[in-house]
A and B are shown apart, each in its own frame.
Chain A
Amino acid sequence: MTRTISLGLRFGLWLVMAGCIWGAFFYAWSDPAFIGQSSRILFFHVPMAWTSFVAYFAAAVWSARYLWGGRRMRHDRAAAAAVECGVLFGVLATITGSLWARIEWGAYWNWDPRQTSIVVVLLFYGAYLALRSAMADREIRARISSVYALIALVVTPFFYFIVPRITESLHPEPVINAERKLDVDPRMFQVLIASALTYTVLFFWMHNLRARSQALVDATLDDPS
């Protein structure tokens, strides 16, 4: 019974994902303010960046639950899996962003404050993964890397909110901008929201698979027979 439900959910996710891709190319308009059809990358780039943000936040929540919620290893595995997925989505957001920058700004990379921010945030979580691999003892690794994920929660807001304001950015305003008004076509908005939600669900599915496979690895290491 549960197998049927889970199969149905996965099939539903694939269908919605396909619907989002179809909508990005055939349902939403292309924004005339940008060169050619380049604005369509919005429906992939923004959800990826958003999902990486969700993943890092989820990693911090699981790390805090590990430290102050009874030190359960499954919380540490969940935090690590969230960071791994977050780095994946962050790299994809960087690649899609620089493809768009090549068309719109003329260069793949020009150290726009947004580009600086995403690279340093990726370095942050790359360092998290390096830190994990430098510790063999599972308890120490869980404790120290949880602390590092929480330091990230304190420092990364500086990249999202402050560094882009020190120097001028060419990056388009976030969809929900400072004036809290929605200046985007309704069709584009529908596809964007649907896509962001689908990517978030995709993240939780991938995260669940990764955390479960790591639990099996840990169990095998504990009892190799």
Chain B
Amino acid sequence: MPSPASIWVASARAVFTKDWRCELRSRYALNAIALFAVTTLVVTSAALGPAGTNKTLAINVLPAMLWLILLFAAAAGLPRAFVHEEESHTAIALRLAAPPSALFVGKLAFGVSLLLGIEALVAPLYLAVMSLEVASPGQLVIALVAGGYGLAVGSVLIAALASQARGRSTLFSVLAFPVLMPLLLIAIELTRNAVAGDPAGVALPQLLLYDGSVTIAGLMLFPAVWNP
């Protein structure tokens, strides 16, 4: 007889692998996110040129642009996580198959891995086309990982809410923007410090606090969203 903990882990892993398998068959979110990110990247680059050579622009403008690209890329693909369960009427089967917290963790792992993958594609490209020199690259990686996680956890939680309402895709942006705004402000601040070579300061603990509190809120509130 397997223990409840191992059943929980197995369900979360099953949701994660199922989502990736569906994703690799349709490539809906992958294509949407990657193309969206690359298109905005091209537009920004064409408009600004190699802005990284200008120190003031490099510190004041470019970190904010990077996070805006990532925000809209996330908003283009992540809401799909729950909307397609409602559209293909598989939500009921999922309710039977997995406990809500395991489902949330599985969906979250999918969203985080998708977003971190996109960041691994977009961030080096962005640095290259903008000629942006980063003074402390390690800190930039920390900002991207912690910020990307926060972006994913906020988006997945809001996607679960929005999938229950009419006008899901418009509603997602309206609901997600205020939730993700503090995360973006803190992540931009941390990226700015990384580019300028300043110490991370309080921005890093604040970012981790955001990640932790939204994850805990998600685990507590998701069962109420998912189960009628």
Contacts and interface: CB of A to CB of B under 8 A. Distances in A.
Contacts, number: 77
A67 B224 contact: yes
Given A162-B182, A163-B185, 19 more contacts: A120-B182, A123-B177, A123-B178, A131-B165, A134-B166, A134-B167, A134-B171, A135-B166, A140-B228, A147-B161, A148-B161, A150-B221, A151-B217, A151-B221, A154-B214, A158-B206, A159-B182, A162-B186, A166-B185
B171 A143 contact: no
Contact of B171 (A130, A139, A166): A130
Contacts of B97: none
Interface residues of A, number: 29
A78 B225 CA distance: 20
Interface in B176-199: 177-179, 181-182, 185-186, 189
A162 B161 contact: no
Interface string A132-143: 001110011001
A201 interface: no
Contacts of A140: 164, 228
Contacts of A154: 213-214, 217
Interface of B: 157-158, 161, 164-167, 171, 174-175, 177-179, 181-182, 185-186, 189, 202-203, 206, 210, 213-214, 217, 221, 224-225, 228
A144 B225 contact: yes
A136 B164 CA distance: 10
B77 to A, nearest CB: 21
Q: List 4 tightest A-B contacts by C-beta distance, closest first.
A: A158-B182, A124-B178, A134-B165, A154-B217
A158 B178 contact: no
A130 B178 contact: no
